[in-house]
Amino acid sequence: MHVIIDGQRVPVTEGMTILEAAEQVGIHIPRLCYHQSLTPAAICRLCVVEWEGARTLVPACVARVQDGAVIHTESERVRRARRTILELLASTVDLSEAPDLLAYAAELNADLDRFADGARREFPVYDDNPFYIRDYNKCVLCQRCVQACGNDMQFTYALTVSGRGFYSRIDTFYHAPMPETTCVFCGNCVAVCPTGALKEKGPFPSPQSPVLDARPSEP
């Protein structure tokens, strides 16, 4: 069994995803919500690739290989979708602490100010417990934290998605402060956050701590 990825013949096994198949031959497909320890949510759509014969692009993180499939990971159609998603994202939230995304954007020649005239998602920084802060101005809604808190790691279910559409947000149930939720402060959500929206405070304040630097300063 094999697939053709960007012209390369890649031997694969049943059940393998396109992302995994590409990785085998050193082709890196951009991704954001994907995390190797979590169930792929397939929602960021950065990992979309062109599968010859398919009506739409397909997300490489969940699409399973089929014998003889011809895949393009860098076609203009693919790059246009990725570039536009990053441009839209950059106009919505603060990506300054998401170096991977900024690197993808640079590679795709994305104009991160292209939609800067649009609404942003803005929140106060939630500092309601001794262990971590939540700065949803940097949240890209990858939902990794919700998954880590839920079925994929901790089975605690303190986090959920509330709201809808553009104004969706990661939240606690009834918007309760974290100490009043089922949160056990395991830290898994902080560990999987890709954009610096969740940050550990650390046991002691330290001058080197990037965490303290990231807290909002008084205006």
Question: How far apart (Å, rounded) are the C-alpha atoms in residues 137 and 196?
Answer: 10
Between 77 and 201, CB nearer to another protein: 77
In the range 157-186, which residues lie near another protein by CB under 8 A?
A: 161, 163-168
Cβ at position 45, least distance to another protein in Å: 4
- Determine how many CB atoms are found less than 10 A away from the CB of residue 207: 6
Report which of 165, 186, 162, 191 is spatially closest to residue 176, judged by C-alpha positions.
162
Question: How far apart (Å, rounded) are the C-alpha atoms in residues 126 and 30?
Answer: 30
Cβ at position 42, least distance to another protein in Å: 5
Site mask, another protein, residues 114-153, x = CB under 8 A? xx-xxx--------------------xx------------
Between 32 and 133, CB nearer to another protein: 32
Task: Give the torsion through C-alpha atoms of 128, 130, 199, 84, to 10 deg.
Answer: -10
Collect all residues with Cβ–Cβ distance below 8 Å to 210 and sequence separation of at least 6. 199
Q: If binding means CB under 8 A, how many residues of this protein chain bind another protein? A: 35
- Cα-based distances in Å from 23 to 16, 27, 92, 141: 11, 5, 30, 25
Cβ at position 62, least distance to another protein in Å: 6
Cβ at position 60, least distance to another protein in Å: 12
Amino acid identity for residue 50 in this structure: E
In the range 33-92, which residues lie near another protein by CB under 8 A?
A: 42-46, 48, 56-57, 59, 62, 77, 80-81, 83-85, 87-89, 91-92
Residues forming contacts to another protein in the complex (CB under 8 A) are: 42-46, 48, 56-57, 59, 62, 77, 80-81, 83-85, 87-89, 91-92, 114-115, 117-119, 140-141, 161, 163-168
